[in-house]
Every structure is written in C-alpha cells, then in structure tokens.
Amino acid sequence: MTQVRPFSASDRSRQRRLGFTMLELMLVVATLAVVFTMVVPRMTIMRDGTALRAGRQQLSAAFAAARAAALQKGKPSTLTLTGNKASVTVLSGLSSTSVKVMGPIDLLNSVGVTLTPIGGAPTTVSYNARGLLTPMPAAVLKYRLSAGGRADTLCITPAGIILKKGCTL
C-alpha cells in the first residue's frame, strides 16, 4: 500500500516556478521605456529626412517635366507653384491650347513638405521651346523645402537646369 505524505515547505521549494515576478516585469518595462526614448527622436529625424528627399525629387521631377515638355513639343511650357502644389502645362496644337502634363502634386499632403520660394523666385516658371527659362532670371532660382525641423533648397539655373547639390555654380 502507498503512503500519502503531507505537503511540506521543502517540497514547495523544489517545485518549478511558473510565470514571472512583478519585479522582473517592471525591469522589462523600464528597459523598453529607456530604449523607446532613445529611438523615437532618431526615427523622427529619419522621417523628416526621407520626406525632404521625396519632396525634392517630386519638385525636381516637375521642373524636369516642364522643361522636357517644352523641348518635346517645341512650344512654351509653364510650371505653376500654388502654395505647396505644383502643376505643369504646355501649349499644344495649332490653336495653342493649354494641356496639363503633370500634377497638381500636393507636396504637403503627399510627403509632408512645405514649399517656399526664396529671394523673389517666381511661383510661375516658363520654359521656351528651347528649354530655357523665360524671361531669363538674373540669378539662380531658389525654392525652400521644409519638413519638421529640417530644410533643403532646390536651385534652378537661368538656363533651366536643376542643380544637384547646393546653390553654388
């Protein structure tokens, strides 16, 4: 016959613990909080940088499309900047009707970037049939793109060419 022993304190210490103690859980939560506070500012900087690059690419594409449309059609084209939106039209056909080539591209809603002309840069930029800006500006056209606390500048030469880096020739 088997004897049943009463449950003793030494048996309890031999049993395996299941789960975590409150102290262990609090240490994990505190560690995650510290890591989170270190990562969030860096993610914000990365997000703003990505938004600026995307906005610069979209605005560059609009300027390039306006110039390309003028060269391709052999007719004047116009890039119009209204607030944070950009659109491109070109004159087409014998009656010189205006045809929308691109846009409107809404930089604020699509990538979170605001657009500001700098130093009297025009909000309507026209290219002639040879792909040159008309009227020919005296200096480089500058447009400021900003997202969060970061900013970038897009520069267009009087010949209508987009400068890759910086605004110096």
Per-residue pLDDT reduced to its tens digit, 114-151: 888 988 888 889 998 888 888 888 888 899 988 888 88
Higher pLDDT, residue 118 or 168: 118
For each of the domains in the chain, give its residue range(s) and CATH number, in order of start.
22-156 (3.55.40.10)
Q: Residues for the chain: how many in total?
A: 169
Model confidence at 4: pLDDT above 80: no
Q: Are 129 and 76 in contact (CB under 8 A)?
A: yes
Residue 52 has pLDDT above 60, yes or no: yes
Instruction: For residue 155, give the nearest of 117, 103, 101 by alpha carbon.
Output: 117
CA distances from 112 to 26, 31, 46, 151 (A): 38, 32, 13, 12
Q: DSSP assignment of 111-139, as one string? A: H--EEEEETT--SEEEE-TTS-EESPPSS
